[in-house]
Structure 1
Amino acid sequence: MVAFDGFPEPHTGWTFLTNHARVLASIADNHHARIRDIAVRCRLTERAVQKIISDLEQDGYLSHTRNGRSNQYSIDPSKVLRHPAESGLTVASLLSILVKDEAERQGAVVQPRADS
């Protein structure tokens, strides 16, 4: 997870998802997550997560409300992804693939939907 010096373990090579998608999925999984926790989960620095959250908020994908000392994040599921190749694909459809269903996280067997 995090190396001894506090920085994420290095990763070489390419990946399928951007860091923005990872952060958004992490927030979708826990709307009350701390930046520190998101950074650990996504294997990024806290500063990188702050920048990504700022990018997502600036473009309207994400907003937050201050709740005491913590933030509660809200995602706009109807927002369309930015790349022309993903034309018409919404944040909700992306997150439905990336974020585990609550039942799956708890270890329950999930039956496929009839419309799948």
Structure 2
Amino acid sequence: MIIAISSDENDLNQTVSGSFGRCRYFCLYNTETLEAIFVENSATSSQKNAGAKAAYFLLEQNAGIVVACRFGTIAIVYLRENDIQIVIPQSPKTINEIINQLKKQII
């Protein structure tokens, strides 16, 4: 499974981004290979529908879980319609903390 985590820096020790559609990067963590890669979010500079564009991109990446601090309505609808789980951390967490927490729940 691919876990997509919003980030403003390409660093596992950064906190999860406050924004989904306009974050600078997504950390894509593969639970099978245990690899994490960062990809640029091409929707960051979109004038409209950044959340929907980001959601579509993550659907193409086969994300099963998406983590961000805030999601727009259209992005939420799109992600739910495509059976992608949405996770909103209750407190600031680093990407590493999120990965470790979700690994425990998935295994």
Relative to the length of structure 1, the TM-score reads 0.28
Q: Relative contact order, CA 8 A, sep 6+: which one is greater? A: 2
The answer to which structure has the higher helix fraction is 1
Larger strand fraction of residues: 2
- TM superposition score normalised by structure 2: 0.29
